[in-house]
Amino acid sequence: MKIGFRVWILLIAIALSLLAIRPSFETGVLIKSVEPDSLAFQQGIRAGDIIKEINGEKITNVEEYSTLIDSLFPSDQDLRVDIKTKQTEYILFTNQSPKITVSDVPQTKIQTGLDIRGGARALVQPEEKLTDSQLRDLIDVSSNRFNVFGLTDVKIRAVKDLSGNNFMLIEVAGATPSDLRELISQQGKFEAKISEETVFVGGEEDITSVCRNDARCAAVTGCFPLEGEYICNFAFTIYLSEKAAKKHAEVTGKIPIDSASGGQYLQENLTLILDGNIVDQLRISSGLKGQETTQISIQGSGRGQTQEDALEDAQNSMHNLQTILITGSLPYKIEIVKLDTISPLLGDQFTFLILLAGVSSIVAVGIVIFIRYRKFKASFALLFTSFSELIIILGVAALISWNLDLPSIAGILATIGTGVDQQIVILDEARTGRETSIRERMKRALFVVVTAYLTALVSLIPLYWAGAGLFKGFAITSIIGITAGVLITRPAFADMIRRLEN
């Protein structure tokens, strides 16, 4: 049978889709994130690199990485750990496992969504109605805050519902809902006040630099027991802009010296306020009275039932405060409308079962078609075009870097089901009305296909915004699938059937 040009178009589309998916045979583990305060981060290890060897032993997957790390740590003394990545080599001397989060190297360019990888997702709505420009500002500040925390696998995008309300959809792979709530629930409005007068606020306008990852100017200064619990104090240095320094000098110049302190301090304190709550109150040295100082020490504390808990709380509190001082407050108050999570194991199992059901359905339909029409070639053509449609959808998704989540997979299955229905229409048209030519019958069948496509397209477009964008994946993959079907796979299938009937 001679291959028609429509079939050639289908074959070219399949080849291009496979090229876009581009299977990878890379081994190792992908670095997803590195804790900013860790030794690994200080040595230059960054997310996105691939670990190939540790201490000369090849690493091909996460299981091998975990087994090797568990065999080394924890240790009573510092060990030398040689880490070879795809880009370079690193040497660590440590008695704890590197604070690195890894995953298996993706085998294709197909990106999966939060539902499959696991993590937390929050749908956030500003308390006031924002314009598109204001929402972009909110997303920029939020993204900056996540970046400062060292989180790389974060996706933040603007979504709308059918009523036109603006939302911010935040997805963090590998996080828990409590982690995500902690990151976004606070507006992060930081103020430093003296005598109820604001001296400086968080953000680049007043703060030029914040000391981080340097024990000389940012560290936990000590821990001690108090009333059945432990308290750990921390301190870090910030550097003010000239404008903020002048404001500090102007305010302190009006404050009298506290004689009860022996002339060492002023009568008023520097009060640190975060989201309306007092973080700490610092004594102001009398030597700073009226002085334009650009260097300020920020102090705080953490609490816990054990010293380890208090130390961890102090470090987290210091990190959070540093982040807010760097990024500034969110420009608008926000409310978490929906907060949920899904296990990656559940996502993998669910996806596998859905795909298995889809493939089984296609094969079952092929068998039914063979029993009804008694034509092996027609059944094979139906199976071939259905699988081709799946490859094309995945190829387009990989090309546009669309994250395939569970709604997206549901859209793929729905599209394949619709495609099978339309191919049966083409088969029926080929067998009936033999008083007309096979070419005319195929035109009639394709007219039905195009009409069904336009109807489906009109119904899917509103779904793009439904549920504040949570069904966007279903709409996108469905539109890709039915468009590829009406332009490529259905004409190719009709061409195959026309040639088989001749």
Model confidence over 55-67: pLDDT tens digits? 999 999 888 898 8
Radius of gyration, alpha carbons of the chain: 31
Q: What is the pTM of this model?
A: 0.56
Question: For the ranges 44-48, 278-282, 289-293, 353-357, which has the lowest average pLDDT?
Answer: 353-357
**Architecture, CATH, for domain 29-104:** Roll (2.30)
Is 296:238 a contact under the CB 8 Å cutoff? yes
Pairwise CA distance, residues 14 & 393, whole Å: 10
Q: What pLDDT does 468 receive?
A: 55
CATH code of the region 5-23+344-501? 1.20.1640.10
Four-CA torsion 398, 401, 405, 410, nearest 10 degrees: -50
CATH 2.30.42.10 range(s) for the chain read 29-104
pLDDT digits over 371-404, tens only?
777 778 888 888 888 889 888 988 998 888 777 7
Q: Is the pLDDT of residue 148 over 60?
A: no
Q: What pLDDT does 399 receive?
A: 87
pLDDT digits over 406-458, tens only?
788 888 888 888 888 888 888 877 777 666 777 787 888 888 888 888 888 88
CATH 3.30.70.3400 range(s) for the chain read 119-186+337-341
Is 158:135 a contact under the CB 8 Å cutoff? yes
CATH 1.20.1640.10 range(s) for the chain read 5-23+344-501
Q: Are strands 119-126 and 334-342 parallel, antiparallel or unpaired?
A: antiparallel
Is 122:339 a contact under the CB 8 Å cutoff? yes
119-186+337-341 CATH pick, 3.40.50.1580, 1.10.760.10, 3.30.70.3400, 3.30.420.40: 3.30.70.3400
Pairwise CA distance, residues 358 & 354, whole Å: 6
- Burial level of 70, CB count in 10 A (0-12/13-18/19+)? exposed
The pLDDT > 90 percentage for the chain reads 8
